[in-house]
């Protein structure tokens, strides 16, 4: 029996083989993930129906079991609403943050460094998120 926040076996396996600088993608329900998988990525579908599971719930689970040092979102048009970006930043805390042009963002997902793509039922626009895996720091390493 597992006592972690995440018990999905495929997600745990992919995270377990994701080293420092690997990329984990949390995809909304609209991203064409079949066209985004790279040579090293595992694709997990958690989009049972619209709204289940949402991207913030998945991010909370990932953060409970995996260190994250950076995040990338897709740039939104000036007139678009992307409040989810603010929610991501609140959950992620002190990580590097970047917004990337749409087509460059898609290419980044296809990068060989992407080890896991989790498609959610998230319906909010511009909710796709690329996480960069960090390292587990020892207590004596807290200064860097």
Q: Is the pTM of this model over 0.85?
A: yes
pLDDT band (50, 70, 90) for residue 142: low
Domains, the chain, with CATH or none: 9-133 (3.40.1650.10)
Rg of the chain in Å (alpha carbons): 15
* Residues 68-118 pLDDT 10s: 999 999 999 999 989 999 999 999 999 999 999 999 999 999 999 999 999
Decide: residue 142, CB within 10 A, 0-12 exposed, 13-18 middle, 19+ buried. Answer: exposed
Tokens of 101: 């042009």
């Amino acid at each position: 029996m597992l006592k972690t926040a995440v018990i999905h076996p495929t997600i745990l396996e992919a995270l377990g083989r994701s080293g420092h600088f690997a990329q984990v993608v949390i995809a909304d329900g609209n991203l064409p993930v079949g066209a985004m998988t790279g040579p090293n990525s595992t694709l997990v579908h958690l989009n049972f129906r619209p709204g289940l599971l949402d991207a913030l719930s998945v991010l909370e689970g990932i953060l409970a079991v995996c260190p994250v040092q950076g995040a990338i979102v897709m740039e939104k048009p000036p007139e678009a609403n992307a409040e989810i970006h603010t929610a991501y930043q609140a959950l992620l805390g002190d990580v590097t943050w970047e917004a990337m042009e749409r087509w460059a963002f898609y290419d980044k997902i296809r990068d060989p460094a992407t080890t896991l793509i989790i498609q959610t039922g998230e319906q909010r626009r511009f909710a796709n998120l690329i996480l960069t895996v960090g390292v587990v720091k020892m207590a004596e390493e807290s200064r860097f």
